[in-house]
Structure 1
Amino acid sequence: MLTIHGVTRSRASRIIWLCHEIGLAFRQVPVIQAYRLADPDAPDAPLNTHSPAFLSLSPAGAIPVIEDDGLILSESLAATLYLARRHGGALGPSDLSEDALMMQWSFYAATSIEPDALTILFLHARSRLQSGDDQALVANAAQRLVRPLNVVEGHLSTRDHLVGDRFSVADINLAEILRYAQGYGELMSQFPATMAWLESCQSRPAFRKMWDERSAEPE
């Protein structure tokens, strides 16, 4: 059985959403991020990304990691693309061209969108007053995102999905990265087709199941 190492409040959410979409059974080992613990190296600390048992799987000390029939993968996008090819049916590629396009959109999201989207996620807190420095960092990140989001908007203005005529792993990978910036309305309101697509992705039962599981975990 597939094993996913990592709490759902991490990039493991991408893998778990995919598994729910395709009905793929898995075992989850709830490895928590070390930075969320006061002393991750304490003898009684829960299993975390500093734990020797986890570092034996992921020398980089990062979640998620999957194990599948002896294969160990420690990058979430590699894991989703691999699982979609192996188990995903219509969510995976039907030929080499679709495979290339699914990788293209996944890598574009990771390289051109995710770093600045994460800045917005971590610093654009609705519940606290931001410092001037934080406000400037968020504004700069949002400005840098305009160019890549214009690319996404242009693509989704004429189609419902990223690749082919169906929902696929490419949609999952991009949607989970765009979610980081979703709460910053000043940016996202500029891209109505992208927002409509993102809301459609997040209305899927498999996403809702993953999100309920994520919400049940401690913050």
Structure 2
Amino acid sequence: MITLYGIEWSRAKYVLFTLAELDLDFQHVQINPFEEEKNAPEYLKLNPLAQVPTLVDGDLVLTEAMAINFYLSRKYGAEKLWVNRLEDEAQLYKWTFFAVTQMETACVDLILHRKVLDEKDRSSDTIQLAEKKLMKPLEVLNAYLAGKDFLVANKFTVADINMAGVLSYALGGEFDFAPYKNVARYLDAILSRPARKKAEAG
């Protein structure tokens, strides 16, 4: 039995999307990374950093959302969310790491400082810096997506889940994707998938 620890609006949402796409049965344990429950001794045995998500599948205990998504997609969705060619597999990693290293921090800053934090803790400077940091990677992504519906091998893969998951924070943080028409089209299509809606509903 698969068990996932985390809550829907944390990085666990990336994994919930994958689990829904693969229609896998799993137990969902709500662990809020901003509450003391993350420091419960039994949870720290699974994730000593007290972070989410954490996946348990049999004897395997796995942390880091993108690693979990790679594992689930390859083990349970090889024909659905994974790819056959090594060259395409490299692209899965490339676009996932691109999303995480080039955009995730800025995307999270946008939703934190526009929606999540108390008014007194919000920073307009942080918002402006985050939007500036997103410009170049979004230009690159927008150019790449011209004439494409998906990131890799002309099919929906785990890379699309990971990319859309990261960008959904910026969307929730009221980022204007209008100048990046290919990204906006792509993001709307991925986030409109029935599995994504199922994952959001819990």
Asked if Structure 1 and Structure 2 have the same fold, meaning a TM-score greater than 0.5 normalized by the shorter chain, the answer is yes
SS in 2 for 1:56: helix
Deviations along 1:89-144, one digit per CA (max 9) or x if unpaired, are 2211222122111011111111100011111010023998678x711210111011
SS in 2 for 1:9: coil
Match among 179, 184, 190 for residue 168 of structure 2: 179
**Number of residue equivalences:** 201
Deviations along 1:61-116, one digit per CA (max 9) or x if unpaired, are 10100011211111000000111111112211222122111011111111100011
Larger Rg: 1
SS in 2 for 1:157: coil
Distance 1:99 1:73 in 2: 20
Deviation at 1:145, TM superposition (A): 0.6
Letter in 2 for 1:109: A
Which sections of structure 1, spanning at least 5 residues, go unmatched? 41-47, 214-219
Distance 2:116 2:52 in 1: 26
Letter in 1 for 2:168: R
Match among 96, 115, 133 for residue 105 of structure 2: 115
Q: Which moved more, 1:171-180 or 1:80-89?
A: 80-89
1:3–1:67 contact (8 Å) kept in structure 2:
yes
SS in 2 for 1:72: strand
Letter in 2 for 1:155: Y
Deviations along 1:40-66, one digit per CA (max 9) or x if unpaired, are 2xxxxxxx2111110000011101000
Distance 2:64 2:71 in 1: 11
Identity %: 29
Distance 1:2 1:66 in 2: 7
- Give the TM-score of the pair, scaled to structure 1: 0.86
Partner of 2:57: 68
Partner of 1:81: 70
Partner of 1:45: none
1:67–1:73 contact (8 Å) kept in structure 2:
yes
- Give the TM-score of the pair, scaled to structure 2: 0.92
Distance 1:189 1:198 in 2: 12
